[in-house]
Structure 1
């Protein structure tokens, strides 16, 4: 990891916060939410998105580890109201439910 890359990781880590589904709904309505699999490093994926690392992002999307949030997921989150973690990488908000908490897969 380069110094610049390490600095970006630290910045994104500092901007990652717990959030409720209610707070995220406006972003979902705009199509701006990206769902990160709970077993993955949210900040590392956010960093790749921020750095426009198309190869990594495409690989994660192909593996289902990163995806646009689907209606069924949104309905599940509304019903369960779990604690989520999010970080903004404009124009996206990357969101994750920690592994072991999700019932969808």
Structure 2
């Protein structure tokens, strides 16, 4: 394993440790500020955070264009609020990435 690969693995492990479940209601002020991005369930939340941190413009543009990563819509936010949803989240300043995972789904 090269030094770069080792550093990358350590960074991903750090991001994974920083990923936690949080009630959507606790993210309301960040949503109101436009700082919350939803990550599609089929994507790896930690991978998206890693690519965003690495400023991988190509990957981010593809995810944004496909809607796999997007600002949380008012409709989505209202649904999560009404359901008292618990979401997986990780901070990549200034953004908070959230992912609605099916019940029983493990975070990555």
Q: Same fold (TM over 0.5)?
A: yes
> Could you say what secondary structure the match of 2:91 adopts?
strand
> Could you say what secondary structure the match of 1:84 adopts?
strand
What residue number does 2:20 align with?
17
TM-score normalized by the length of structure 2: 0.87
Higher Cα Rg, which structure:
2
The answer to whether the 8 A contact 1:85-1:95 is kept is: yes
What residue number does 2:66 align with?
63
Where does structure 2 lack aligned partners over 5 or more consecutive residues? none
1:24-43 map, 5 Å? 24-43=27-46
Where does structure 1 lack aligned partners over 5 or more consecutive residues? none
> Is 1:54 matched with 2:57?
yes
The answer to whether the 8 A contact 1:39-1:99 is kept is: no
Runs of 4+ off more than 4 Å: none
TM-score normalized by the length of structure 1: 0.89
> Could you say what secondary structure the match of 1:27 adopts?
helix
Deviation of 1:52 after TM superposition, in Å, equals 0.6
> Is 1:5 matched with 2:3?
no
The partner residue of 2:91 within 88, 93, 99 is 88
Aligned-residue CA RMSD (Å): 1.6
How many residue pairs get matched? 101
